[in-house]
Amino acid sequence: MIRALLHSLLYFPSRRILETPGQAGLESRDLILETDDGEQLHGWWIAARTEPLGHLLLCHGNAGNVGDRILHADLLTAVGFDVLLFDYRGYGRSSGRPSEQGTYRDARAALACLLAQPGIDAGRVFYLGESLGGAVALNLALERPPAGLLLLSAFTCVRDLARLHYPFFPASLVPDAYPVVRHIGDLRAPLLVLHGDRDETVPLSHGRALFEGAQGPKRMHVLHRVGHNDLLQLSGAEVGRVITSWASEVQGPQIAT
């Protein structure tokens, strides 16, 4: 019962896809990703719409599905990234049921799919983790270091969030799931932390703790007067400029900016 309750508090998948890339005027290809434990995941490949900056794997948050991340893809392809959007098991058109280890497996399958796309330069692959996806992207980055890791509104660990949002729940019963802050110091890839100063779901203190715990090349940018779910709507242009500047810097003179 406790495990089932915690699962329902952590994952909020939706099967209904409310928007597709085509509805936003973006050209895309549907992808089917095979995981090493037999699940089939759905994703989209959306090519960059300007001078190529790199290729980006997007690990989304714990709610909805890829159809709620079209704005992310629009922004990222506009600044020069090819984007692979994928759904974890149990989300959207993907089979299965979400779990911590399952999301890690899903990210590995998504990376393999990204690397198999035509024209990929493995040295220019970035990961972006949004909220819970930050933990998923970090886990992947420790196994397969990218050109850079972007953490967008990411949390320190599930226990810290549980203390904030479910104070009635005994802390001793909350599993040590997605312990980002414990492993961020092992990251050696360049890191960019983006966080809103009015984030009501994952407080800014989480982003600062992750930034402070990282030991490699790092940058943090605080977005003002935005929260958790309106960050891109209100600050999309600023986010695009920061990501472009950072990605160009970490790749050095090998790309034109």
Catalytically active residues, by annotation:
131, 199, 228
Structural contact between residues 59 and 72, judged by C-beta atoms closer than 8 angstroms: no
Structural contact between residues 123 and 142, judged by C-beta atoms closer than 8 angstroms: no
Question: What Rg value do the Cα atoms of the chain yield, rounded?
Answer: 17
Phi, psi of 158 (to 5 degrees): -65, -35
CA distance 221 to 43: 29
- Joined together, the tokens standing for residue 35 give 């995981």
Cα dist. 159→10, 54, 84, 111, 174 in Å? 11, 34, 30, 28, 6
